[in-house]
Structure 1
Amino acid sequence: MDWTNPYPSSRSAVLGRNMVSTSHPLAAQAGLRMLLSGGNAVDAALAAAQTLTVVEPTGCGIGSDAFAIVWDGQQLHGLNASGRAPRAWTPERFQGREQMPDKGWESVTVPGAVSAWAELSNRFGALSMEQVAAPAIHYAREGFAVSPIIARLWELGRLRLGDQPGFAQAFLPEGRAPAAGQWYRNQDQADTLERIAATQGRDFYTGELAKRIAAFSQAHGGALTEQDLAEHRANWCGTISRPFAHSVLHEIPPNGQGLAALMALGILEHAGIGREPLDHADTVHLSIEAMKLAFADLYEHHADLEHMRHPPEHLLDDAYLRERAALIRRDQAGDPGHGLPGPSGTVYVTAADASGMMVSLIQSNYMGFGSGVVVPGTGISLQNRGHGFSLRPDHVNLVAGGKRPSHTIIPAFAMNADGTPQMSFGVMGGPFQSQGHVQMALRVLLYGQNPQAAADAPRWRVTGGRGVAVEPDFDPVVIQSLRERGHDIQVESGSGVFAFGGAQLILRQGEHYVGGSDPRKDGQVAAF
């Protein structure tokens, strides 16, 4: 492993035998408390995830969706806890629109995060849900000081969603978004988290909380019903995977978009990635071109797995990826369309413990505060995942009742070629996430960077056509070389927390772990 860090950063990689890495220090410490109390990595991840709904409501809430990958010490498990569209949703309901709504009740699908907490706790947890929820309940009831980054995102949420049902009552005390350093409490959320823990999540889907969610939906013309909530099930879906470098990268199957990361890495291997240094213009150019090809296919073929016409194994077929890689020109930026294979927005938590258990968990509202809808008296803020559906009549991702939308949130997990666990990681940030996975995999798995250096490195992001956004610290010589090849490069100053994601990584090294946390957010690696 390369322990150097050539990028501007005040952080060093953290080492320990028990570890939590996430985007807020209070959440990381909540997870660490579980490990110190005899809990395992799943308990730690769940404590951190629930705490994030309180201290980082700008990225997730009780009404979020979630996915997880768990190494239990012997086997890898994948969990899809994303929700389905209300049964009443049809294409005709949204007739006349060019795209699905991105706020209000018409963007809300069944929230799945609570089902993820319950499934993970019941199957793998060593502590009770009441113990695991205690830190989140404490911060909701007693309060916490809002950080500058979260305050900035909170104000953006106010501007966009302040008029949505229930939003101001829950998130705008005295009519304003909390300022940096201001103390914030949410008693309703504390009560709801207690009820969820006491009932193992059942009350959220079939009890009093479900009734209140459905009643508020009906009062505002929403389609979500008690039946929709009661029918929800998280499912153990396994993973899809592809070898890369000397590792095997695992992602959640569709409707998660991890497929795009696997495709891009497969294309890169066929394109000869690794011949030049990590931050060389040729390496960056190839990475961008592979990502564009993967996205072109993703946006055409990706949907709820039950509705895809071309299954993931066809899109990951070596012969197909070789064909896609052949379209890349080393001297020129492309603007590719989708291929046709033959038959062959978020918070993230990773935790690991001394027994060898490792967890990769992601939950999200999608866009900031999500739909902006908050059920009165509950603190339940609802995601806007319905915006992920298409309204194109012939598209596999066309909106339909009971269907899961195409999802951006994706946890990742890398295994060594010998079948032992290697790295649990994720990069929150909407459609950037699969691009972030590619960049982390290149840096850590192929080039051997340590996790903190990988998190610190300046990032690129494809934006459509030949457009590419880069961070201000990007090497000007590389930028010039990319422009000469036809890339339309935009340097985005000061937007990293919004557009370039937030990475959290835990790499296993023998009997201990090496962790990194993204400096673009408030994150922390906590370990002992």
Structure 2
Amino acid sequence: MPTFDALHYPYASRRNVVYANKGMVATSQPLAAQAGLQVLQAGGNAIDAAIATAAALTVVEPNANGIGGDAFALVWHGGKLHGLNASGPAPQSITLDKLTSQGLSEVPKYGPLPVTVPGTPAAWAALAQRFGRLPLKTSMAPAVELAREGFPVSPTVAGAWQTATALFRDAFKEPYFKHWFDTFSPERAPQPGEIWRSAAHADTLQSIADTNAESFYRGPLAERIAAFVQSAGGYLTQEDLAAFQVDWCDPISVNYRGYDVWEIPPNGHGLVALIALNILKGFDFTERDTLRTHHLQIEAMKLAFADGLAHIADPAHMRVSVADLLSDAYSAERRALIGARALQPMPGEPSRGGTVYLSTADGEGNMVSLIQSNYMGFGSGMVVPGTGIALHNRGNNFSLDAKHPNSLAPGKRPYHTIIPGFLTKDGKAVGPFGVMGGFMQPQGHVQMVMNTVDFGLNPQASLDAPRWEWESGKRVSIERSTPEHLFHGLAGLGHEVTWSANRVGFGRGQIIWRNADGVLCGGTEPRADGSIAAW
């Protein structure tokens, strides 16, 4: 763990950092964190706690994730880091021509067309089978109870729920959207503190738990999912669901000033964070809140995203390798493009060769970085009748340009925005970290790593500090709490800067670090209903 010097940092006093030694769960909703802690104290390990927390989040934060979404995880177990990609592919019967022949130039955001195979239930089952100590039924029990008995909706969740309801009432006219309103907003969205429950959601979670997710992919739930999507004009079939398997993968990394920063390889865009850090490690940084620091961070992120958006796809379809994009020679080439003024980012040509996040740790050394999402809040707006299953809309990330590596194709996984992060040093775990929030995620990862490694901030101070987000071209949004001299300074360098008071738009993160004595040090997101449950 780095030596932290955050006692006098102006953003460190909003919430105290949390210490523990037997176990810790950090996530965006207190009841979900408690679900994970409950499982830890019942004899489970960090993996069981992650499953419990993830399942509970589908209940208590349905505006950001659900049973019908995707998941990724980095698991430190047995002194090694393991990667899990549980993102689903496009249906086998969908084609680019079928969509373009309808006059579409992009995959729609809502409805049946962007629905890909959900991977989240398979992720829970795979984690439990490979690394868990408890049966899936035990780990998921708190989530089932929350759904069946109800829970008081937390403030940030209530606000997002109300916003989504207003949007959907204007946008959703087709009859197949009725089931979303029946499930989540029959009359209105819940208010903060109001009890919300879903017996259908509880029944579905129980079925997944009882069958180790078999019912979802090869049973009655699969039949209901496929029938509903097809009745609405979509392409997902029972065969698509039955064929799905998670991908246990080797994580990818770069070394940043002695620390190894780890991400899941493509189709996720954790690679973007690594490209940016590889560029930034060629500069020296001594202070966080300087114009030079912000300018260099933003410029590196622009270049990294330009490459990511041009090259990241299902790995079977990528034309440029991860190794080439992370080579020192290519990083130096991209670094040389950064000058004194804001640039218009363009992809390079290297040599060719809405989301929830949680961190868990136990007293035995196991640690988990897990993220799951329905995308764009509630996802596609498609809820399978009588199940509580809100289907995601990840297919929206496909390109309909046949020449692009991320073009839509049967059985292909789309470019994916959700990314868990992990930090190690000298082959030992430092811990999990993540910042949820669409295309903010790699940008949040870079800022969290630099806050920790370059500026010595503890986990809570790292999360409390103001953030920026590059949007496109020279456009940058910065949080309203950012020092004013940085706003004017960046504008003077040619950045098109805007203030933003929407703190949730800058992502929602969690961090748990472990020191040499085994003490856990955690921080949680001040921009959400974040909570740490510690033991």
TM-score range relative to shorter protein? over 0.9
Instruction: State the TM-score, normalizing by the size of structure 2.
Output: 0.96
**Aligned letter for 1:100?**
V
Q: Equivalent residue for 2:527?
A: 520
The aligned amino acid for 2:521 is V
> In structure 1, what residue type is equivalent to 2:342?
A
Question: Counterpart amino acid of 2:510?
Answer: Q
Give the stretch that moved more between structures: 155-164 or 236-245.
Answer: 155-164
**Could you tell me how far 1:86 is from its partner in structure 2?**
0.5
TM-score by length of 1: 0.97
Secondary structure at the aligned position of 1:86 is classed as coil
Trace 1:238-277 onto structure 2 (pairs within 5 A): 238-270=250-282, 272-274=283-285, 276-277=286-287
- Which residue of 111, 120, 127 corresponds with 1:120? 127
1:195 equivalent in alignment to 2:199? no
Partner Cα distance (1:508, 1:305) in 2: 33
Cα distance in 2 between the residues matched to 1:193 and 1:343: 45
Match of 1:2 in 2: 5
Conservation of the 8 A alpha-carbon contact between 2:65 and 2:354: no
The question of 1:420 aligning with 2:428 is answered yes
Letter in 1 for 2:511: L
Question: What do residues 380-405 of structure 1 show as CA deviations (whole Å, max 9, x unaligned)?
Answer: 11111000101112100000110000
Aligned residues: 521
Q: Deviations over 1:32-89 (max 9, x none)?
A: 1111111100011110000000000000000010000000031110000000001111
Whole-angstrom distance in 1 between the partners of 2:221 and 2:447: 41
Q: Is 1:102 paired with 2:109?
A: yes
Work out the CA distance in 1 between the residues paired with 2:87 and 2:13: 35
Distance 1:402 1:159 in 2: 34
Q: 2:312 matched to which residue of 1?
A: 302
Name the amino acid aligned to 1:2: D
Unmatched 5+ residue regions in structure 2? none
1-structure distance, mates of 2:12, 2:498: 21
Deviations 1:85-105 (A, max 9, x none): 011111112112222111111
Match of 1:506 in 2: 512
Alignment map for 1:448-527 (pairs within 5 Å): 448-493=456-501, 495-497=502-504, 499-510=505-516, 511-527=518-534
Aligned to 1:388: 397
Question: 2: CA distance between counterparts of 1:381 and 1:273?
Answer: 46
After TM superposition, list the pairs within 5 Å mapping 1:41-440 onto structure 2: 41-95=46-100, 96-162=103-169, 163=172, 164-173=177-186, 175-270=187-282, 272-274=283-285, 276-329=286-339, 331-343=340-352, 345-416=354-425, 418-440=426-448
How far, CA to CA, are the matches of 2:373 and 2:137 in structure 1? 22
Alpha carbons of 1:350 and 1:8: their partners in 2 closer, same or farther (altered >3 Å)?
Answer: closer
CA distance in structure 2 between the aligned counterparts of 1:146 and 1:203, rounded to whole angstroms: 29
SS of alignment partner, residue 243 of structure 1: strand
Instruction: Please tell me whether the aligned partners of residues 152 and 195 of structure 2 are also in contact (alpha carbons under 8 angstroms).
Output: yes
The one-letter amino acid of 1:415's match is: T
TM-superposed CA distance for 1:3, in Å, is 3.8
Asked if 2 retains the 8 angstrom alpha-carbon contact of 1:255 and 1:407, the reply is: yes
Offset at residue 273 of structure 1 (A): 3.5
For residue 344 of structure 1, report the CA deviation from its aligned partner: 5.2
Contact 1:246 1:445 in 2 (8 A): no
Partner of 1:11: 15
Give SS of 2:533's match: strand
Alignment of 1:38 onto 2:43: yes
Q: In the alignment, is the contact (CA less than 8 A) between 1:309 and 1:396 conserved in 2?
A: yes
- 1:345 CA drift (Å): 4.1
For 1:370 and 1:113, the matched residues in 2 are separated by 14
Q: Which runs of 4+ in 1 moved over 2 A?
A: 159-163
Q: Secondary structure at the match of 2:260?
A: strand
Computed over aligned residues only, the root mean square deviation of the Cα atoms, in angstroms, reads 1.1
Aligned-partner Cα distance in 2 for 1:436–1:220? 37
Which residue identity does 2:208 align to in structure 1?
I
CA distance in 1, matches of 2:278, 2:53: 33
Question: What's the secondary structure of 1:106's corresponding residue?
Answer: coil
Residues 28 and 48 of structure 1 are in contact (CA less than 8 Å); yes or no, is this contact kept in structure 2? yes
What is aligned with 2:449? 441
C-alpha distance in structure 2 between counterparts of 1:345 and 1:25, whole Å? 18
Can you list the C-alpha shifts for 1:315-348, whole angstroms capped at 9, x where unaligned?
Answer: 001100100000001x211112100000354000
Separation in 2 of the partners of 1:423 and 1:430?
22
Distance 2:429 2:70 in 1: 26
1:9–1:519 CA contact under 8 A, matched in 2: no
Counterpart of 2:62, as a letter, is P
CA deviation after TM superposition for structure 1 residue 478, in Å: 1.3
Q: Which moved more, 1:224-233 or 1:148-157?
A: 148-157
Could you tell me which amino acid in structure 2 is paired with residue 58 of structure 1?
N
Gaps of 5+ in 1: none
Same amino acid, percent of matched pairs? 50
Looking at structure 1, the residues matched to 10 and 20 of structure 2 have their Cα atoms a distance apart, in angstroms, of 23
The CA deviation at 1:147 is 1.6
1:16 shift after superposition: 0.5
Shift of 1:8: 6.6
Amino acid at match of 1:254: P
CA distance in 2, matches of 1:344, 1:9: 48
Mean Cα deviation higher: 176-185 or 154-163: 154-163
Partner Cα distance (2:437, 2:388) in 1: 23
Q: Deviations over 1:260-288 (max 9, x none)?
A: 00000001112x141x4112110111000
Cα deviation digits, residues 334-378 of structure 1 (max 9, x gap)? 112100000354000100011000000000011100001100111
For 1:345 and 1:214, the matched residues in 2 are separated by: 24
Distance 2:345 2:96 in 1: 29
Amino acid at match of 2:11: Y
For residue 160 of structure 1, report the CA deviation from its aligned partner.
3.0
SS at the partner of 1:105? coil
- 2:354, 2:378 within 8 Å by CA — same for their partners in 1? no
- Following superposition, the deviation at residue 199 of structure 1 comes to 0.2
Task: Give the SS at the match of 1:504.
Answer: strand
The SS at the match of 1:107 is coil
